[in-house]
Structures are given as C-alpha cells and as structure tokens.
Amino acid sequence: MQLEEDEISIPAQFEKILESGKRAEIKEFLDDQNISDVVDLVYEFPEHEALIIANMSVHRAVNVFKLLEVLEQKSIIQELPPSYTAALLNELPADDRTDFLEELPSNAVRELIKLLDPEERRVTLSLLGYPENSIGRLMNPDYVYVYSHNTVEEVFGIIRKYGKNSEAINVIYVINQAGELLDDIRIGEFILSSPSTKVAELMDERVISLKAYDDQESASEIFKMNNRVALPVVSESNKLLGIVTIDDILWVATEEYSEDMQKMGGTQAFEEPYLDIPLLRLFRKRIPWLVVLFLGEMLTATAMAFFEDEIARAVVLALFIPLIISSGGNSGSQASTLIIQAMAVGEVYISDWWRVMRREIISGILLGTVLGIIGFLRIFVFHVVTPSLYGEHWLPLAFTLGLTLLGVVLWGTLSGSMLPILLKKMGADPAVSSAPFVATLVDVTGLIIYFSFAFMLLKGTLL
C-alpha cells in the first residue's frame, strides 16, 4: 500500500489533498516536501500559489519564494494577508528582498516597506539607495565580524550569538574600532588554533574586497579568480558594509549571459521571461535593431547599383554574389561570437587586441584559402562538365572567385574580432556588435572586394 502511494506523483498527491480542503493536511504535506518540489508545485498550480506559501512555515516559505520568478513573487504578495506578507519580507535576506522590491512600482514599494521591522526597513532603504547593477544592490548586511584583540574562544562565542543570521559564516571579517576592514579569515583557521590565540596572530592582511558602487559584472571575475563563496563589500573609505555571496553572483552571471545572447541575436535585452513578455513590448524590443540592420542592408543594394554596369556586361558575376555575402557574414559572425564569449569570461581583454588581430589574420588567411580553393574548384569542375557555362574566360573568373573568398573571409574575421574590442574600449557593450550587425557590415564591404577583384582580373575580357 505504501509503495502505491509513493508511486503517485507529488502534484497528484497535492491535488488530492487540495480536494479535501483540510489546511492541516496541506501544511503537513508541504512541510514533508523538498523546497525544489514545492517550487514545482507553485508553477504547477498557479491558482493556489498563495495558498501554498501561506501554509508553510515562514522560514521554508522564504526559501521557496527566493527561487520563484518575479511575476510569481508579485502575484503571491498581492494575495497573501498583510500579516504573513510582513513576516515573509522580514525573514527574506536583505539582498533578495532588495532584488524583489526594485522590480515593483514605487507606490507598491512604499506600502511594502511599511510592513518591515525598523531595522530591516533601514537596511532595505540603504540597499535601494545604491545604483542599479551596482555591488551595493547585491550586498547582504548580515555577516560576522570580530576585532583583532579578540581571542579564538571569544570569536566562537560571537559566531554562536550572531552567526545564525549570516548567509556565510565560513569566513570571519576583522575590523577596527572605526569599522574599517582589516582582514578576512577562514573559519578553519580558528578551529585549528588554540582558544587563547588572538585574532591578530592569525591575520595576514591580504584581504580581497569589493566596492559598493562597483559594477556587478566585475564581481564575477573576482569570485572566479579567488575561489570564494563570499566577499566583503566596503565603502570608498574602506568601511565594511556587508558581504556578497556566490549565489547572488551566479544569478548576475546568468542574467548577463541571457542579456548578451539576446543582444547578439539582434534584439534589446528582455527583463522578463520570453513567454511572459507582452507582445507589444516584445515588438518594441525587436524592431529597432531590425530597422537598423535593414538600413544597413540597403547599402548592399547601393553597392550593387554602383557596379550595375559590370554586372550588365558580365551577368555571370551575379551568380556568385550570395556565395560571397554568406561566406563573409559567416566568418565575421563566427569571429564576433568567439571574441564576445572570450571577453565575457575574462579570457580576452582590450589590451590583447594585437594578439587577437594577429591570430585572426592567420585564421582568416587559412579559412579564406580553404574556401577560395573550394570556390575555384567549383568553377573548374562545372567548366569540365559544361564548358559553355562560363565560356573561354572561366579561368580568370575562377581566380576572381577564389581571391574574393580569401579577401572577404579575412575581412570578416578581422571585423568580427576587432569590433567587440573597439566597442569595449569606447565603453559600450561588446554584445551589440552582434552577429547580424557584423554580417551586415561584411555584406557591403564584401561586394566592394568582389567587384574590385573582378575589375582587376576580368578587365579587357568579360569587363
């Protein structure tokens, strides 16, 4: 019998308990589930999402609430009774509460802040005062600090007293009487030291910290390079303000990755999940870049009009225009994607531009040579099979195509690799040199390269 119950899915069990309408059974069932399973239930039963949160202990409800999308969080807060909303918001870590509140209209924020305890209200207002996308917005003011004159025994007493409110107690922060950060010490060092050892004896003063007004993206690289789960945040005067934990940084990294992918696809960044964003807003996000790219592609038509006489005299040249355009665009998009990704993970910096250029020149020549040979062989094979197709001037035509492919692919790789670095140098987001943008640029210049080679190699014959 027990086996049969275990085989029933969690949503099915929950639906059966809902039908009974007994709150005690609902609460008991929810308390027995893993947090991740309760999150799945919220998405499975959106009409009961507030009921699910309200029938859990506040501590467990907070853990579920933190994992939900903003839209679900907003909907739940609107349905919960004020007393439970107050308990939930007060229990939320300050950084998670700030993330949620900054997504709400200002009038809703004012009303919810009134529900907070005085101390939590002070912390939240302080965090909301930092610029958007700054480290200060991620900062959690709950941490454990000690003084250099404390002994190890005293440190453990402080941890037992204040550590329960901290997200990360594996690192203890050392400050002076002015609140300035002196050092951070891993808890393992205290465990391995005698109770009478003073904190000053364990300090090496090689502390790594973040500035409250620094950009959030900069923290990700610091975390990665130093293998930390938490880092202290200080003011310009080195006063310890709070800590940032790795879970917040992973969230930032995910958001930045999604934003970069959207920009690389030729759209503005979305602030909501794709299926939740209204169609009109989705249209407004996509149309600006499409218009810009369309205007850019109009230059391709202008370039073709400029070479109209050459095309009229040698119609065969028009046959290879799609081939030239696609090869240049593909090579440019490929190089652009590689460099943007390398810059995002800290493998390439602005100062590496010359190294990147050298590598892409060599890569472009190798790639272009391969495609050029294939293009040359294409004309050669077709001429052998059907001699009348390209006529007696098939050889200079084959060289024109081969050399053009070499030039276009080389230009595409250089453009695609240098544009992200140039934009970064100008203070712009490298992701806006997206694949469509690079492809449009290379389309126009590719035609110029093509007809320049054609004019040089076919003058006096086809032209």
Boundary (domain end) residue, out of 228, 245, 262? 245
Contacts for 89 with CB less than 8 Å, ≥ 6 apart:
97, 112, 115, 116, 120
Residue 135 is assigned to a structural domain of this protein: no
pLDDT digits (tens, 9 = 90+) for 43-60: 988 888 889 998 888 889
Are residues 338 and 369 located together in one domain of the fold? yes
Between the alpha carbon of residue 252 and those of residues 213, 248, 429, 451, the distances in Å are: 15, 6, 16, 47
Q: What is the mean pLDDT of residues 409-422?
A: 90
Residue 222 predicted with pLDDT over 60:
yes
Q: Answer for the pair 179, 151: CB distance below 8 angstroms, yes or no.
A: no
Give, in order, the Cα–Cα distances in Å from 303 to each of 292, 380, 395, 453: 17, 28, 25, 15
The SS3 call for residue 159 is helix
Q: What is the pLDDT of residue 266?
A: 53
**Cα distances (Å, whole numbers) of residue 133 to 81, 125, 237, 343, 344:** 31, 16, 21, 19, 16
pLDDT-based confidence at 2, cuts 50/70/90? very low
Same domain, yes or no: 351 and 408: yes
Per the structure, the count of domains in the chain is 3
173 sits in which H/E element: strand 171-175
Residue 138 located in a structural domain = no
For residues 61-71, give the mean pLDDT: 88
Q: 199, 229, 245: which is the final residue of a domain?
A: 245
> Do 114 and 155 lie in a common domain?
no
What pLDDT was estimated at residue 23?
82
Sign of CA dihedral 182, 188, 191, 193: negative
Arithmetic mean of pLDDT, 182-196: 91
The candidate with the shortest Cα–Cα distance to 397, out of 450, 451, 454, is: 454
Written as one letter, the residue type at 54 is: A
Residue 19: which CATH number?
1.25.60.10
pLDDT for the residue numbered 269: 55
Predicted local confidence at residue 463, as pLDDT: 61
Confidence category of residue 294, pLDDT binned at 50, 70, 90? confident
Cα 18 to Cα 51: distance, rounded to the nearest angstrom? 10
CA 276 → CA 38, 39, 261, distances in Å? 21, 18, 18
In this predicted structure, what is the pLDDT of residue 399?
92
172 in the same domain as 222? yes
Cβ atoms of residues 458 and 400 within 8 Å: yes
Q: Does 155 map to a domain? A: yes
Q: Do both 304 and 361 map to the same domain?
A: yes
Percent share of the chain, pLDDT over 90: 18
Read off the pLDDT of each residue in 445-453 and give the average, rounded to a whole number: 86
pLDDT at 88 over 70: yes
* DSSP codes, 76-137: HHHHS-HHHHHHHHHHS-HHHHHHHHTTS-HHHHHHHHTTS-HHHHHHHHHHHTSPTTBGGG
Of 66, 99, 129, the last residue of a domain is: 129
Backbone angles phi, psi at 175, to 5 degrees: -125, 165
According to the model, what pLDDT value does residue 3 have?
43
Helix boundaries (H) for 114-268: 118-128, 152-162, 187-191, 199-202, 216-226, 246-264
> How many whole angstroms separate alpha carbon 128 and alpha carbon 98?
6
Q: Yes or no: say if 434 and 263 are a contact pair by the CB < 8 Å rule.
A: yes
User: Is 463 inside any structural domain?
Assistant: no
Average confidence (pLDDT) over 376-399: 87
- Give the pLDDT band (50/70/90) at residue 219: confident
Contact 330, 446 (CB under 8 A): no
User: 20-29, 252-261, 312-321: which range is least confident on average?
Assistant: 252-261
Q: What three-state secondary structure class fits 245?
A: strand
Q: Does residue 268 belong to any structural domain of this protein?
A: no
List the structure tokens of 42. 């919220």
pLDDT at 205 over 60: yes
pLDDT band at 201; cut points 50, 70, 90: very high
Cα-based distances in Å from 379 to 12, 93, 173, 331, 390 = 65, 68, 72, 22, 8
Per-residue confidence (pLDDT) for residue 370, from 0 to 100 = 95
Calculate what percentage of the chain has a pLDDT beyond 70. 87
Same-domain pairing of 121 and 155: no
Q: For residue 421, tell me if it sits in a domain.
A: yes
* Confidence at residue 15, expressed as pLDDT on a 0 to 100 scale: 85
**Based on the domain organization, do 212 and 289 belong to the same domain?**
no
Closest by alpha carbon to 323, among 236, 408, 227, 218? 408
Q: State the residue range of the domain holding 297.
A: 279-458
Helix (H) or strand (E) holding 243: strand 240-245
| CA distance linking residue 64 with residue 238, whole number of Å | 35
CATH code at 365? 1.10.357.20
| CATH code for the domain in which residue 207 is found | 3.10.580.10
Q: 341 and 315 in one domain?
A: yes
- Could you give the 3-state DSSP secondary structure of residue 172? strand
pLDDT at 170: 83
In a domain, 262, yes or no: no
Higher per-residue pLDDT: 128 or 236: 236
- Do 307 and 415 fall within a single domain? yes
pLDDT score of 330: 85
CA dihedral 425, 431, 433, 434 (to 10 degrees): 170
* Region at 230 (left for phi over 0; alpha for psi -120 to 50; beta for the rest): beta
> What band does 173 get if pLDDT is binned at 50, 70 and 90?
very high
The distance from CA 353 to its chain's CA centroid, rounded to whole angstroms, is 23
In a domain, 26, yes or no: yes
250 token code pair = 């992973």
Same domain? For 123 and 171 the reply is: no
Please tell me whether residues 211 and 289 are part of one structural domain. Answer: no
Do 388 and 443 share a domain, yes or no?
A: yes
The mean of the pLDDT values for the chain is 82
Mean pLDDT, range 164-179, rounded to an integer? 82
* Rounded Cα–Cα distance for residues 144 and 171 (Å): 8
More confident residue, 354 or 12: 354
Is the Cβ–Cβ distance between 140 and 171 less than 8 Å?
A: no
